[in-house]
Every structure is written in structure tokens, then in C-alpha cells.
């Protein structure tokens, strides 16, 4: 993944811009964690089908 030099986070109050190295390092760690926790494409599709059948 290319390295980001600025991150914009939107909220109900205002956008927040992060550009300090420590902030970006923490943000990259969060992105890595989410990628590791996410289901793959096939698993996501199967999960959606299970939930749809339960409706």
C-alpha cells in the first residue's frame, strides 16, 4: 500500500486532518488490523447469503 501523507477523518462535527508521523503510524496500524480482521470475498459473500436467508 502506498504511504499516506495526510488522512482526513470526517465526523458529525468537523473533518479532522492527521499528518504527523505518529498519527499516521497509528492510522496505518488501524488499517492493518481491519484488513486482518475482515472476511475474504468468498467468506463475505457466504455470510451475506446466510443473513439474507434468515430475513
Per-residue pLDDT of the chain (55 residues; tens, 9 = 90+): 566 689 999 989 999 999 998 999 999 899 999 999 999 999 999 999 999 999 9
- Select from 2, 30, 27, 7 the least CA-distant residue to 18: 7
pTM: 0.64
Which runs of E-coded beta strand occur in the chain? Answer: 7-9, 16-18
- The whole-chain average pLDDT of the chain stands at 91
CA pair distance 24, 9, nearest whole angstrom: 12
What lies within 8 Å, CB to CB, of 5 at 6+ separation is: 19, 24
pLDDT of residue 5: 86
C-alpha cell at 43: 467468506
Amino acid at each position: 500500500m502506498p504511504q499516506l501523507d495526510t488522512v482526513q477523518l470526517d465526523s458529525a462535527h468537523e473533518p479532522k486532518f492527521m499528518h504527523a508521523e505518529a498519527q499516521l503510524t497509528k492510522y496505518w496500524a488501524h488499517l492493518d488490523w481491519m484488513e486482518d480482521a475482515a472476511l475474504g470475498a468468498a467468506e463475505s459473500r457466504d455470510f451475506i447469503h446466510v443473513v439474507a436467508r434468515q430475513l
